[in-house]
A and B are shown apart, each in its own frame.
Chain A
Amino acid sequence: GQQLNQSPQSMFIQEGEDVSMNCTSSSIFNTWLWYKQDPGEGPVLLIALYKAGELTSNGRLTAQFGITRKDSFLNISASIPSDVGIYFCAGRGRNSGYALNFGKGTSLLVTP
């Protein structure tokens, strides 16, 4: 499968700051998903996007499906210590069934 380009690789921020991370692909995707993974656990689905240009929020999280269908971004507003973890983007192509291509993750650290 294709590896997505996710950036930044890591972020170290203070509580209350906003965070932005993004993901790009060389291929067009029909679905973009954003996950958060805590140590020793499986990824937890945060937001799912299905249409180019779609902007979806989940509490303090907002994600957008890029209009080229080759990128997506995730914003976290007013970060809190429990936002700590690794965030992954994942994309699903038209002809790949349910196989997801993942980014390498953004490691987020939040200091009180």
Chain B
Amino acid sequence: KAGVTQTPRYLIKTRGQQVTLSCSPISGHRSVSWYQQTPGQGLQFLFEYFSETQRNKGNFPGRFSGRQFSNSRSEMNVSTLELGDSALYLCASIPTGRGLAGPGGEQFFGPGTRLTVL
């Protein structure tokens, strides 16, 4: 079974630009969550989607947004990039599909997208 796919793996942008990152969860998983990882702040929750609906959002400014499509693929967008947005952006696939729901909480991460803002 294929794992979580994130594209692109690496991205370089300049301040003020916007960026879109993509995540394809494990087949059959209907929930996706996004995290930002930086050396200073560690791993921080951005948002979570289930069946195209955002169910939960972390404490990030409105420049960070996301969406989920009917095939469970998800995208996140960061507008008006700042230097501090440089980070590893991780997507996690959550087994909430029919017959897959466990006790809850297990999340399987993709390799991440390394964003560098110059």
Contacts and interface: CB of A to CB of B under 8 A. Distances in A.
B103 interface: yes
Given A42-B111, A43-B90, A98-B33, A50 B45 contact: no
Nearest to A97: B56
Given A98-B48, A99-B48, A31 B110 contact: no
Given A1-B45, A3-B42, A42-B112, A100 B107 contact: yes
Contacts of A76: none
A96 B106 contact: no
Contacts of A90: 43
Interface stretch (A16-24, A56-64, A101-109): A101-109
Given A33-B106, A100-B107, A42 B42 contact: no
Contact of A99 (B4, B58, B112): B58
Interface in B37-91: 42-45, 48, 55-56, 58-59, 90
Contact of A45 (B48, B90, B106, B110): B106
Dominant SS at the B interface? strand
17 contacts: A1-B45, A33-B106, A42-B4, A42-B90, A42-B112, A43-B43, A45-B107, A48-B103, A90-B43, A92-B105, A98-B48, A98-B56, A98-B94, A99-B33, A99-B45, A100-B45, A105-B42
Given A1-B45, A98-B33, 4 more contacts: A42-B111, A99-B48, A102-B43, A104-B42
Interface of A: 1, 3, 30-31, 33, 35, 40-45, 48, 50, 88, 90, 92, 96-105
Interface of B: 4, 6, 31, 33, 35, 42-45, 48, 55-56, 58-59, 90, 94, 103-112
